[in-house]
Structure 1
């Protein structure tokens, strides 16, 4: 990998003495990483003001250390910035690593150990590594640029990106293993019969590197949790109508369970579906709240009460469903919505499974949803730690690098140990998922996944809290070096609530354990 911001061009060589002559407001050069930048036309629009660039240790001087104390390396890779380069210091070469799409990070602990050259893992084979390489490039080249635009304007992710995922088989892969993958061309030439939960874990963790929680939920969150009930319990006719358009990115789906009246207490929901006398329709009345992708969804996989108890019904927006956006602390690109069903007449053919089986269908979805959340939490926490490591190495305080502060090293060490443990716990559970039937997973892993979710979001809490302390004011600023930490701190709590709160998860884990507690065990 080249360390130069632009490898295709060779710049003329300039002496430091020549650069020093250009130290006036209308003729101002600086040096950053051996490259000479002409800021004469930029000084008036510099976000930090003219005075910063006119300081005697900046104008006409080597400003590398000052630059990286204030800005990230991506600024130097922008086309507009590169146009300011007028030369390179004679006898010197670039020393900064300029990230290229698809590459692994060289920062310690920035990647899970299975990706490091000197480490081994029993879980991953060549197909997993190939998928990771191609996912990394895809995310870097297509997903991250789109996320930055949507973080800025709050609009929904571009459907064309989701449709591209559909064409290359990536949407189907996000549903996990199953019959829906058979005879389908998958991304990175993964064969349907070899696809397992580690392939899925890689997809989730590469997406999590985007470090934009709201955007990523908007990109595929509704599909990942809204489509499985159709795949697993829908009739053949329902699958034929819904599955392929959703996987192609032509239609969007959301899971509508939570209400203002019922969150983790699913049995407390009040949305009611009354079957008509002729049995041909259900009349649905009620509301749903905090529905991911709900504001732009075409279908709502909806949990309802019925005369038989509880049921799951797929409700097309076209039947008259109304939505309005809910403003949350993460990006509005997630399409989080309040959903209103007012006398919606739904044909009975949209019933998912059997009437009265709603609760088992809802519960069957939870294990996978929670595992998916754990995949993202483990990777996004690691990404935040990478930012902290870089900051610690380049920030100077009291004339010395921040890395000289023992308290900062202690904080980072504490966080990295927890992130590594979180990944190891996740990989162990993923291995068990690969070697258990669906029924056995429900019996033996529901509690394990619940405990992992509760613990991993506690790890995220520690990372977010300490990250802001280490970054200081930058960790509270939506732009600049601390922007990833600000966003992480603002959004990490969603995973501690979505799919079951930490308290409910911890309780579920212990209740599952109590069920298998040996009767004769005594202290």
Structure 2
């Protein structure tokens, strides 16, 4: 357990961060949202000139240059500012995909892996919007298995150009991008990355994909037919393309954490207003318990995701605070340190957004299914987030995979911690003294939930060893527990920090209520998941002892979540949106 003072929360935003958030929000409200209907129609004609125009307007106020070092004309914003841009731009639906695809995975490979010459040439143009970028990794036959790519690069006889052949699939911004970050295998074997210009001979794109959602973004195939790419456009080292691909995806997952929070808050605003305007049986439907449950649950889940997203942004900011913008190795090492948290944010956040969008449609009833109302688009747009940046299934496998690798390298005392839990079980139950401190019961629930996570991990490692990587159901169960633990702890630390600094404020009561609702239900989810997977990894007397341990560690004095959800719903109606925090 860490202290509340060690975590960064939205309440800690400084003036610069608040200014960046307001600038982004004003741009979205004044420039993008009034054009949403036109933006949504672009995919039918393939003409994305409106998107390009808006991206260049965004560049005029610095929104394309946040991640770019100052020496190359960028703003070099801290990681919290960058998360805030993602949160507030996300209210623009598919347009946020266009902007994020350019500023994120389209620009990061050059920012972090380019040579000094590549950075000096490309980054100023990307920051001003003179050139727009896209990231080309997936192929028709390789999605999650990115290293299975078949696109090929061969150096010509003169040694001046690589000749690229292949097809890339699901490429955001493909309809208008000027440059593409393309991953190919040199000589069909060495996975590598190249900067490819749209106007190179042999570069073409397919037709616009007829997607379920994010209609205001361009998505096409990128087709490469004997494309000559100057050897100077190789990014990084030959055969080291996976470092570029996976590090940029980690960063994308971190940014997505802020994006889903912003999207969910926007949906909640629409829903909270609607359910108090819509009347049935002579009263607003928002006054009924069934709707209050939905609204209160939306608030609790958004709060938990917001808490862990900005906690992670703060951790990454702190580890990179004294790192020079050109010190790529230290930057990537800092990001890798929190790669697990980035995957958690991606999975938890995208599923939170899916829940909020689904319940919004349900709250609107038949009108929610109509394209005349905003939640229909939000519902369609939300679904892609569980596929973007590596599917949620892949990320659920990455979370324990990264933990186990660190344990094997001696960086994480996993087995020692598990043994302490087993020793505690053999010693029998302890009788803790009553603690009247705020959220003391929730703190104990988190400590015990961590013990359950360690117990499951340790038993699984003991049974399967290195073969554990093949037991995906076990890995996914552990991930679900670990994600709930991180969300519980992040929610608790933020609420306690608020209580210690602003004990009498209404938003503090909001945070305490959201924390109690979330932890109350998370304890039940963790217990159920642990009981479901234990018979797979244990048996006999050991299983009986371990099931008893799960019961012991799941002991929690339940709270009245009906009352608390009603309170959170009433607060959402009062502020017509998310009550816990506003810029």
TM-score above 0.5: yes
Q: 1:306 aligned to 166, 182, 186, which one?
A: 186
Q: Is the 8 A contact 2:172 2:219 kept in 1?
A: yes
User: Which one of the candidate residues 150, 153, 157 is aligned to 1:273?
Assistant: 153
1:121 CA displacement: 5.1
The answer (yes or no) to whether the contact 2:135–2:180 under 8 Å persists in 1 is yes
SS in 1 for 2:104: helix
Select the residue among 359, 371, 389 that pairs with 1:499.
Answer: 389
Asked if 1:341 is matched to 2:224, the reply is yes
What do the CA deviations read for 1:461-492 (whole angstroms, capped 9, x no partner)? 2112211211111111111xxx2210111121
Q: Which residue of 488, 505, 508 corresponds with 2:398? A: 508
Alpha-carbon RMSD = 2.0
Local SS of the residue matching 2:216:
helix
TM-score (norm 2): 0.64
Task: Give 1:183 deviation, angstroms.
Answer: 7.7
- Residue 365 of structure 1 aligns with which residue? 248
The superposition leaves residues 157-201 of structure 1 with CA deviations (integer Å, 9 ceiling, x where unpaired) of: 34333223323322101xx3x5x2248485xxxxx5xx3111112
Q: What does 1:242-281 correspond to in 2, within 5 Å?
A: 242-281=122-161
Which stretch shows the higher mean deviation, 139-148 or 380-389?
Answer: 139-148
Q: Secondary structure at the match of 1:322?
A: strand
Structure 1's unaligned 5+ residue stretches are 1-119, 187-191
List runs of 5+ in structure 2 lacking aligned partners. 1-8, 321-330, 408-412, 423-583
Deviation at 1:127, TM superposition (A): 1.5
User: Who is 2:203 aligned against?
Assistant: 321
Aligned to 2:301: 418
Residues 101-122 of structure 1: per-residue CA shift (max 9 Å, x gap): xxxxxxxxxxxxxxxxxxx955
Does the C-alpha gap of structure 1 residues 165 and 450 become closer, same or farther in structure 2, counting only changes over 3 Å?
same
Q: Give me the whole-angstrom Cα distance separating, in 2, the residues matched to 1:133 and 1:473.
A: 34
Is residue 384–residue 467 contact of structure 1 (8 Å, CA) maintained in 2? yes
Q: In terms of Rg, which structure is larger? A: 1
Deviations 1:107-140 (A, max 9, x none): xxxxxxxxxxxxx955311222222233322221
Q: Is structure 2 residue 286 aligned with structure 1 residue 386? A: no
Structure 1 residue 248: deviation in Å? 1.6
| Residue 385 of structure 1, CA deviation | 1.3
The question of 1:200 aligning with 2:82 is answered: yes
Deviations 1:299-354 (A, max 9, x none): 11001111361110111111121102222112443110111111111111111111
Q: Which residue of 2 aligns with 1:484?
A: 374
* Aligned counterpart for 1:233 among listed residues 95, 107, 113: 113
Match of 1:293 in 2: 173
Whether the 8 Å CA contact 1:371–1:453 is kept in 2: the answer is yes
Partner of 1:97: none
CA–CA separation in structure 2 for the residues paired with 1:323 and 1:223 = 21
User: What residue number does 1:461 align with?
Assistant: 354
From the superposition, tell whether residues 334 and 185 of structure 1 become closer, same or farther in structure 2 (CA, over 3 Å).
closer
Secondary structure class of the residue paired with 1:333: coil
Please tell me whether the aligned partners of residues 123 and 431 of structure 1 are also in contact (alpha carbons under 8 angstroms).
Answer: no
After superposition, residues 119-198 of structure 1 pair within 5 angstroms as 123-154=12-43, 155-156=47-48, 157-173=50-66, 176=67, 180-182=69-71, 184=73, 192=76, 195-198=77-80
Change (3 A) 1:434 1:223: closer
Contact 2:72 2:120 in 1 (8 A): no
Aligned equivalents of 2:215, 2:377: Cα separation in 1? 13
More helix, by proportion: 2
Q: 1:301, 1:314 within 8 Å by CA — same for their partners in 2?
A: yes
Within 2, Cα distance between the matches of 1:251 and 1:515? 39
Bigger relative contact order, structure 1 or 2 (CA pairs below 8 A, ≥6 apart):
2
Q: For the structure 1 residues 505 and 424, does the alpha-carbon distance in structure 2 shift closer, same or farther, using more than 3 Å as the test? A: same
Determine which structure has the larger strand proportion and give its number: 1
Separation (CA, whole Å) in 1 of partners of 2:72 and 2:192: 32
Change (3 A) 1:486 1:440: same
Mapping of residues 39-54 of structure 1, within 5 Å: none
Q: Deviations over 1:38-78 (max 9, x none)?
A: xxxxxxxxxxxxxxxxxxxxxxxxxxxxxxxxxxxxxxxxx
Deviates more, 1:507-516 or 1:239-248: 239-248
Q: Which residue, 199, 203, 209 being the options, matches 2:91?
A: 209
Residues paired across the two proteins, number: 388
Q: TM-score, normalised by structure 1?
A: 0.71
**In structure 1, how many angstroms separate the alpha carbons of the residues matched to 2:72 and 2:238?**
32
